[in-house]
Every structure is written in C-alpha cells, then in structure tokens.
Amino acid sequence: MDARLEQYNVKMSKTLDSLKEEFVSIRAGRANPHLLDKLKVDYYGQPSSLQSVANISVPEARVIQIQPWESKLIKDIEKAIINSDLGLTPSNDGKVIRLVFPELTEERRKDLVKDVKKKAENARVAVRNVRRDANDMLKKLNKSSEISEDELKTLEDKTQQLTDKYIADIDKLMEDKSKEILTV
C-alpha cells in the first residue's frame, strides 16, 4: 500500500465499520444484546451504559434478560427502554427485566431488507466519495510534477482496487444481513 493512499484506505475502512455498527442495531426477529449498546441509564445522576449497571443475557432466541446489579435501577432501566426507539415493552418481576421480541411479519422483514439495502448504498456512495478525493489528490500531485503520468495511472488503479474491495465487502455484509432478516 502506497503511503499516499493509506489515509483513504483508513477512511474506507471506517465507512465499513460504521455500516457494521448500523447493521447490528437492525433487529432481525432474534434477540441481540447489542441492540442495547447505545442505551444510557441514569445511575446516581450519571448517564451510564446498560452493560455497566446490569447483566444482560439471552436465555431464549427471542428474549433478552436484563438483571440490574441494584434492584432500585429496574424502574430507570425500564424508562430508558421505553423512551428509546427500540419499540419494545419491558416486563419485570421485581428482579429482572425481560424484553420479548415479537416474530417479524413478512412485510416488516421486507421493509428491514429495504433499509439494509439503503444503508449499504449510502456506504457505497461514501466509499466512492473517498475514491474521488484520492483521485483528486493524485491529479494535484501530478499537476505539480510530484508524480509522473505512469505513477498517476498506477496509483489510480490501486485506488480503484481498494474501492472495489470495500464495495465487495459492503455487498457481502448487505447480503448476509438480508439473509438473516429473511430467515424465519
């Protein structure tokens, strides 16, 4: 990897990582404790991550169980879940909170797949924008005679290979997530 292209490789890699994080938050009908990663609970006046104040487990395929370290946190955790955009209603027995994931309808699954494809397309556009930035930088270097025409062509080819690699990775992620959502 040419040092001049490394920063663009990093940007493309961050785009892919960001897409992976977005896909984790899309629920596919199965309980995934990562859905709760961004949830904050008021703990002694401090917004704290749910993982830092409770034990989170998945006892069944469509149930997340949250067991707070302190029982007085149950109400705060329930409030955080209700106020979030998860669309889940918590139930508790005084010791643990359970989140039951309803079975997804076929229509809802198709909507989620559309959302996955839209997010993947946005990631592809971001990668292509990074490629454009890299090519602009290379053309400027060529114009100021810092690199030759041959070097320009070689580096543009490497940039395209990098772009193709990340687009293929995005497509694979999209296919896998779509398959996961459509699997009943």
Could you report the per-residue pLDDT of 128-154, keeping only the tens digit for each? 999 999 999 999 998 998 888 899 899
Least confident of 10-24, 49-63, 123-137, 154-168: 49-63
Report pTM: 0.70
CATH 3.30.1360.40 residue ranges in the chain?
A: 33-100
Q: Per CATH, is 33-100 categorized as 3.30.1360.40? A: yes
What is the third-level CATH fold of 3-25+105-182?
Topoisomerase I; Chain A, domain 4 (1.10.132)
For residue 159, name the pLDDT band (cuts at 50, 70, 90): very high
Are the C-beta atoms of 182 and 109 separated by less than 8 Å?
Answer: yes
For residue 127, name the pLDDT band (cuts at 50, 70, 90): very high
Angle subtended at Cα 56 by Cα 55 and Cα 61, rounded to the nearest 5 degrees: 150
**φ, ψ dihedrals at 24, nearest 5°:** -60, -35
**Cα–Cα distance, 90 to 35 (Å, whole number):** 14
**Cα–Cα distance, 117 to 36 (Å, whole number):** 23
| pLDDT, mean over the chain | 86
> Per 3-state DSSP, what percentage of the chain is helix, strand, and coil (rounded to 5)?
60, 15, 20
- In this prediction, residue 168 carries a pLDDT of 96
CATH 1.10.132.20 residue ranges in the chain?
A: 3-25+105-182
**Cα–Cα distance, 157 to 169 (Å, whole number):** 18
- In this prediction, residue 34 carries a pLDDT of 77
